[in-house]
Amino acid sequence: MSIIKRGLRFFWRRAKKVVYFLPSSWAYHKLKKIQEEVENSALFITSYALGDVIYAMAYLKIWRAQNSGKTVVLIADPKKREVIESYSDYDKVIYYERSTSMGKGVLVHLNGSRFYSFLGRKRGIYNTIPQQIYGGRTGRDNLDLMKEYFQIPINSEVTYPHPQKVQIKSISDFESNKDRIVIINPYSGGRTICECVDLLNRIADVLKRRGYIVFSNIVGDQEPLEGTYPLRCGLLELYSIVDMIPMMVSVRSGIMDWLISTRAKKFVVYNAKIKKGFELFALSAWGECNCKEVHMAQMNDEEIMGAFEEYLGG
């Protein structure tokens, strides 16, 4: 990285603290007003990222059980409505688009503010992904850090929040073929954009040679992997599908936090750009044993292919 780029990055990291302050401050006062209008309430700001929402719902279940007298209000992105409304461990949800002034102030700026993360907690306004998780604290996973933030006993058992099942409509003849279907999730957004399409194409070839019917889980105008069938469905239907097929293969993304409790075996590839802090995002922290995680920063393609064929078995 050039000296100029390093300088610009250094400047932005500090400048954004100022840029974030005003909308964060305005949103914080709006949140307090919402809280005052709902008697004995606690507000939980859910992230716009899918994996972060799943963490939030898992901890909300524990927190609510220990604070039964509180009215739990979620502040959420409407794009996650399908996921949020498949759970019931809250009393009310208020949606704000990320692009609106209130949504920008809460869903983006407030979640990125260390100051508001702790000030808010004292007043019953919780960031469900607090700053200490993304603040460079390695050596621990998200689950333990969330316990600390929500002031939940460290020995509390985190119960994965299972969503409801729905009818499967996106794959024809699913019932007769479900034992031969494998889904590959080749794409992701945010910081985990897939760098391994060629690797996933090789995995698809192995699966097809072994007689599996391979689908690529895609959204919008994304293209499926070579020689695979496109799968476009909602998250609830995807959960129901993966709960009945033998295997799911994916780049590491929030979708895998959503699917971790399904019965399918899961083979997950971590982005090469994530050089450290794997323990923060480890799916194994959920306590599920039917998941194999490999890291592109630690293994080359041949080693990953070997690990995949061993995990596939037979």
Kindly state whether residues 281 and 199 are assigned to the same domain: yes
Higher pLDDT, 152 or 211: 211
Has residue 34 been placed in a domain?
yes
What is the number of structural domains in the chain?
2
Share of the chain above pLDDT 70, in %: 81
Span 203-223, mean pLDDT?
95
Mean of pLDDT over the chain: 84
pLDDT at residue 282 above 60? yes
Confidence of residue 105 (pLDDT cuts 50, 70, 90): confident
Which range of residues forms the domain containing residue 74? 3-149
What is the model's pLDDT at position 191?
46
Contact 149, 134 (CB under 8 A): no
Span 11-16, mean pLDDT?
66
Can you read off the two tokens belonging to residue 296? Answer: 């592109």
Q: Amino acid identity of 206?
A: V
Has residue 162 been placed in a domain?
no
Can you read off the two tokens belonging to residue 130? Answer: 């607090």
Kindly state whether residues 215 and 126 are assigned to the same domain: no
- What radius of gyration do the chain's Cα atoms show? 21
Kindly state whether residues 202 and 297 are assigned to the same domain: yes
Kindly state whether residues 200 and 129 are assigned to the same domain: no
* Neighbouring-strand partners of residue 249: 184, 267
Kindly state whether residues 130 and 229 are assigned to the same domain: no
Choose the weakest-confidence range: 56-60, 67-71, 130-134, 159-163: 130-134
Confidence of residue 285 (pLDDT cuts 50, 70, 90): confident
Choose the weakest-confidence range: 204-218, 268-282, 298-312: 268-282
Choose the weakest-confidence range: 171-175, 234-238, 252-256: 252-256
The CATH number that applies at residue 255 is: 3.40.50.2000
Kindly state whether residues 128 and 182 are assigned to the same domain: no
Has residue 8 been placed in a domain?
yes
CA 252/CA 78 separation, integer angstroms: 23
pLDDT at residue 1 above 60? no
Taking only the tens place, the pLDDT of each residue in 178-197 is 999 999 999 876 444 567 88
Kindly state whether residues 202 and 279 are assigned to the same domain: yes
